[in-house]
Structure 1
Amino acid sequence: MIKEVITILSERSDLGQSRMQEVMQEIMQGKTTPAQIAAFLVALRMKGETADEITGAALAMRKFVKRINTFEDVVLDTCGTGADRVHTFNISTVSAFVACGCGLVVAKHGNRAVSSRCGSADLLEALGININIDQKKVEECLKKIGIGFLFAPNLHPAMKYAAAVRKELGLRTIFNLLGPLTNPAFATHQLLGVYDLKLLKVLAEVLGNLGVRHGLVVHGLDGLDEITTTSATKVCELKNKKLKFYSIHPSDFGIKKARLKDLEGGDVKANARIAQEILQGAKGPRRDIVLFNSGCAIYVADKAKSIKQGIELAQESIDSGRALRKLEELRQFTSI
């Protein structure tokens, strides 16, 4: 199957959902060689991934995932594609605690750094959270605290067949897109940052195909795979199975415009210090971008009727100490 698929892709033809699902299952079962996986990934990237192809790949990966069961009606994720190469601090992870402080259940899917200096897993470890916990413990975190970290390597064991190839290639591939689409808790609501404007519509369509009820796919015009405060952010909103496109700007919500320099993260230790300071209430451009992102996450999880109201709830979550308490509770619970 994979040889046939590589030929099709090299001719710049689309695979469709079912064929992509089949070939991805072959990869996840260890039935393909590293050379075949590499050729497949490069050929697919050169052609460009369609919504149907990404959907098929995500459905295949979901079959092999260690499922995290939660009986909540709303499960939020703030995982982005990464690979934006701007090297900000870990905005989406801090935003997850702020959203959780508003009473939302947040299943934060993530991994160690690939293209950045500090991934969500690296940050949480530096903050004293044990990320190497089993499925049952993750489920307990979600139930008792309202937030859990879903460490991708522990919950996607079949990914081991492609991991070495991805690392050796050092290219953005379909796997950068699949991380946010294969949350083991099957998130129902999602804020998804992407590294390329062309992915907005495609990934919003995929979220709809995968059953997400309300999603925001976002791209900062400064290159961020987050909602940015340095310029405008392009948004594709999925709601009631319909897509809506618009732009948002920090000034629309009374947020000061920042410089990229103000949002830099640095190494793991620096990221941990920044996260702690924001959750402790430190003011400035880093807090502002977290408020903007967590406000949008609160809105997309239907806890707020507008982004503006979401930002107000995010401010309360930090200023009341609730967001910081969620971090402390997760640290304590995962160390037991």
Structure 2
Amino acid sequence: MDFKEILNKLSFSEDLTKIEAESAMNLIMSGDISDPQIAAFITAMRLKGESVEELTAFVKVMRSKAVKVEVNVDGAIDLVGTGGDQSGTFNISTSASFITAAAGVPVIKHGNRSASSKCGSADVLEHLGAAIELGKEQVEQVYKEVGMAFMFAPMFHPAMKHVMPARREVGFRTFFNILGPMVNPAGVQRYVIGAFNKETAEKMVHILANLGTEFAYTFNAHDGLDEVSLTSQSEIFELKDNLVSTSIVFDPESIGFEKVEMKALMGGGKEENAEILTNIMANKATDAQKGIALLNAAFAIQASGKVKTLEEGKELAEEALESGKARKLFNDFVDATNDAMGTFKF
């Protein structure tokens, strides 16, 4: 089946088979398809609604074309969100990542610049002095030195250059927002992923199950955040032992967190978000800012297998922050990235 036949099938709102979906994505990622055809494809998929089988096939192709980062990912975690929740919060998962790493859980985070918010993970880290455009060997070096690394997505998914013009032209959220969090170039087997709605969170956990993922939490908060929230309850899906749970309604008060107003979690541009992250690392942030970072870190620590319960994860997260370990790890990370890039200043 050639690409025009695939587009014709989609025009009738018919789902693609696994083979058709893999073929379509391979053609797109190889640069063999024109921008108008790619735009037609992602638009048709959006209108039809992407199936779990289609998305699983897309993830497989994207993973196969990624530059592989070769490190030991036993017990390692990636904390990431789909974006697109339009909330305007600060960089919560990025802040939680450093707390998680400081608690002794290896973190190898995959992220990008902002697409739908004012400040993405790459933007805030770069503003705080980290070198983000590291290649494979450089990321491997930082991870081995610090136990925490950041993989800037464009460096590891060169085939995505064929998709970007069409994505920019259509201007709406596409299935690539869903794929991005699941194509970690280091082959992480444990994920904590926030989604922009409950339906997407459920799709993602089933995709990860199809891909043989060791453990995953996917979630969406009732307030719309692609994080575990402090303003409301959240819908959590769990993948464990190849089994996917039905959604679990989680209340942060159940493990001792106090609920807050959404305005207490708001961020801004990179300057404001960098200041919030710095204050969290120094244990000088507001209770709301610190609390939501600790909450998401607790989920990550528990998802890594280091502890059995969220309460234990919370204790380790609090100790990592209050002891100064998180601040030290963040500073070590920034230094290590610049050292790896060759721009370290004594």
- TM-score under structure 1 length normalisation: 0.98
SS of aligned partner of 2:137:
helix
For the residues of structure 1 that align with 2:279 and 2:3, how far apart are their CA atoms? 49
For 2:342, the equivalent position in structure 1 comes to none
Deviation at residue 211 of structure 1 after TM alignment: 2.2
Deviation at residue 92 of structure 1 after TM alignment: 0.5
Deviation at residue 16 of structure 1 after TM alignment: 2.5
Contact 2:129-2:334 at 8 Å conserved across structures: yes
Deviations 1:101-126 (A, max 9, x none): 01111111000000100000001001
Deviations 1:268-302 (A, max 9, x none): 00000000001111241011111110100111111
Of the three residues 253, 256, 260, the one matched with 1:254 is 256
For 2:320, the equivalent position in structure 1 comes to 317
For the residues of structure 1 that align with 2:64 and 2:186, how far apart are their CA atoms? 13
SS of aligned partner of 1:96:
helix
For 2:78, the equivalent position in structure 1 comes to 77
For the residues of structure 2 that align with 1:24 and 1:78, how far apart are their CA atoms? 26
What code does the residue aligned with 1:170 have?
Answer: G
For 1:302, the equivalent position in structure 2 comes to 305
Question: Which shows bigger deviation, 272-281 or 4-13?
Answer: 4-13
Alignment RMSD, CA only?
Answer: 1.0
Deviation at residue 18 of structure 1 after TM alignment: 2.1
For the residues of structure 1 that align with 2:134 and 2:202, how far apart are their CA atoms? 35
For 1:178, the equivalent position in structure 2 comes to 179
Deviations 1:172-224 (A, max 9, x none): 11100111110101111000000011112211011112221110001011010
What code does the residue aligned with 2:259 have?
Answer: K
Deviation at residue 71 of structure 1 after TM alignment: 2.2
Alignment of 1:203-214 (within 5 A): 203-214=204-215
Deviation at residue 311 of structure 1 after TM alignment: 1.1
Of the three residues 263, 268, 271, the one matched with 2:270 is 268
Contact 2:73-2:188 at 8 Å conserved across structures: no
For the residues of structure 2 that align with 1:146 and 1:89, how far apart are their CA atoms? 24
Deviation at residue 76 of structure 1 after TM alignment: 0.7
Alignment of 1:183-262 (within 5 A): 183-244=184-245, 245-262=247-264
Contact 1:12-1:47 at 8 Å conserved across structures: yes
Structure 2 residue 289 is the aligned partner of structure 1 residue 278: no
For 2:121, the equivalent position in structure 1 comes to 120
For the residues of structure 2 that align with 1:50 and 1:99, how far apart are their CA atoms? 33
Equivalenced residue count is: 336
Deviation at residue 54 of structure 1 after TM alignment: 0.7
For 1:139, the equivalent position in structure 2 comes to 140
Deviations 1:111-151 (A, max 9, x none): 00001000000010011100011110101111111111100
Contact 1:76-1:107 at 8 Å conserved across structures: yes
For 2:33, the equivalent position in structure 1 comes to 32
Question: Which shows bigger deviation, 114-123 or 242-251?
Answer: 242-251
Contact 2:281-2:321 at 8 Å conserved across structures: yes
What code does the residue aligned with 1:248 have?
Answer: F
> Which structure 1 segments of 5+ residues have no match?
none
What code does the residue aligned with 1:299 have?
Answer: Q
What code does the residue aligned with 1:64 have?
Answer: K
Deviation at residue 3 of structure 1 after TM alignment: 1.4
Contact 2:193-2:219 at 8 Å conserved across structures: yes
For 1:329, the equivalent position in structure 2 comes to 332
Contact 2:178-2:200 at 8 Å conserved across structures: no
For 1:63, the equivalent position in structure 2 comes to 64
Contact 1:2-1:40 at 8 Å conserved across structures: no
SS of aligned partner of 1:78:
strand
For the residues of structure 2 that align with 1:16 and 1:221, how far apart are their CA atoms? 33
For the residues of structure 2 that align with 1:17 and 1:290, how far apart are their CA atoms? 38
Deviation at residue 2 of structure 1 after TM alignment: 2.0
Deviation at residue 72 of structure 1 after TM alignment: 3.3
For the residues of structure 1 that align with 2:297 and 2:275, how far apart are their CA atoms? 19
